[in-house]
Chains A and B, each alone.
Chain A
Amino acid sequence: MEEGHFRSEYEQVSGQLYTFLLRTLGDPDLASDILQEAAYRAYRSRNQFRGDSSFKTWIYRIAVNTMKNHWVRSNRERKWFDEVLDTQSVETPSPERIVFGKESTSRLSQALMMLEEGYRAPFMLKHVDGLSYSEISQVLDIAENNARVRVHRARNALRRLLREDVS
């Protein structure tokens, strides 16, 4: 992929990708660092990109891998992309998880931040970023059905949260 083409493609998805990282991580500085590293990696690997998937899917996958590697380096235990789903649905939200509320008055935005990352990310990829389940499975490196179940559970959890908010 030529450098100019890469930059053009990157510019088209950078805002969405940064927003995905920001809403997934809940930390602007960390989201910016992950985006920087992911963009570097994509830039350096651009000649490997063969167009088997869309550019968007490819760079999102790089960003997710960068997040995973960050967690490995920082020894944070994460299970959110494990193939085996938890038997429970979505954990009960706690107030300290709401780290995005200051920046947005959107009820959905706040409800999203009350979900675990393992449900929040697939939901955003589906509904905010407009990816198919196949593309979500590629980005998160999980089975397609796993992606489908996670989105479904996230929807149900959000429905409950928004109803509670109304009541």
Chain B
Amino acid sequence: MKTSDLDLASRYFDGELDQAQKEAFEKRLLSEDHLRGLLEELKGLDISARELEIYKAPEIKFPRIMGARYGHIRSRIGPFLAGVAAAACVLVGIGMGTGIFKTPSQELRTEAFRIVYYAPGADSVSIVGDFNDWSNEIPLMRRDKGGYWIADFRLKPGEYRYVLLVDGEERAGDPMADYVIDDDFGSKNSVVRIGL
């Protein structure tokens, strides 16, 4: 069996020959038993493969992600932004008062997570991730003229993927992330582990 015949039969089987090649191959099929046999083998292989048993998948219980309760502040950039952390606590306090956040007794434990990104010259920085089902971009606040942008979150312990957008353009990865991973669209997601 010539390798070229194997290639040819395989491409014929896949419907990838152009019209002229297809006609030439079919002409050879009429007179060459080994080609017909090869084609039959390929067809038989395909039929057998399609008849392989399909197993029942184990049941998956899909998660709920968001919740709220107080934990410790997890700062990504150290004490020089402690003032901002305090401001965030005030905001959380306001949120409690207005019912935006639920009390500790109402929800499972969560931890604070601060995202900090350095983007001097940017007009806007935002974040989107699986902590909000990738549904809406959440803007980061400009820290000062030094180029730092921040946002605070409260998340249940777990691993969270996100991307940062600077002036609406996706950035490859957050250097402050725990690690960066391929996403499922040919790009990169940053990953942070909260409370693990």
| Chain A interface residues toward B at CB < 8 A | 7, 10, 14-19, 22-23, 32, 35-36, 39-48, 58, 61-62, 65, 68-69, 104, 106, 108-109, 123-124, 127-128, 130, 133, 141, 148, 152, 155-156, 158-159, 162
Q: Is B42 an interface residue (CB 8 A)?
A: yes
CB neighbours of A109 from chain B (8 A):
52-53
Total A-B Cβ pairs within 8 A:
101
Question: Could you say which of A10, A19, A40, A45 contacts B134, with CB atoms under 8 Å apart?
Answer: A45
Contact indicator B48/A48 (Cβ below 8 Å) = no
Query: Contact at B49–A108, with CB atoms within 8 Å?
Result: yes
Q: Contact partner of B46 among A45, A106, A127, A162, CB < 8 A?
A: A127
Q: Which residues of A contact B53 (CB under 8 A)?
A: 19, 104, 106, 109
10 A-B pairs (CB sep. < 8 Å): A10-B60, A18-B58, A23-B52, A32-B58, A44-B133, A47-B133, A127-B46, A148-B14, A156-B6, A159-B41
Residues of the A chain whose Cβ atoms lie less than 8 Å from the Cβ of B182: 65, 68-69, 141
Q: Tell whether, in the assembled complex, residue A44 and residue B161 are in contact, meaning their CB atoms are under 8 Å apart.
A: yes
B49 touches A128 (CB 8 A): yes
Chain B residues contacting A133 (CB-CB under 8 Å) are 14
In the assembled complex, the Cα of A133 lies from the Cα of B42 at a distance in Å of 17
In the bound complex, CA of A7 to CA of B62 (Å): 9
Residues in chain A near residue B49, CB distance under 8 A? 108, 123-124, 127-128
CB–CB A69/B181 < 8 A: yes
Binary A-proximity of B93-131 (CB < 8 A = 1, otherwise 0): 000000000000000000000000000000000000010
Chain B residue nearest to A41 (CB atoms) is: B184
Q: How far is the CA of A128 from the CA of B53 in the complex (A)?
A: 10
Shortest Cβ gap from B58 to chain A (Å): 5
Known contacts A47-B134, A61-B184, A69-B181; is-contact A16 B42 (Cβ 8 Å): no
Judge whether B52 and A106 touch: CB under 8 Å: yes
Partner of A152, one of B10, B56, B60, B185: B10
Q: Complex: how many Å from CA A104 to CA B130?
A: 39
A17: contacting residue among B50, B52, B57, CB under 8 A: B57
B57 touches A15 (CB 8 A): yes
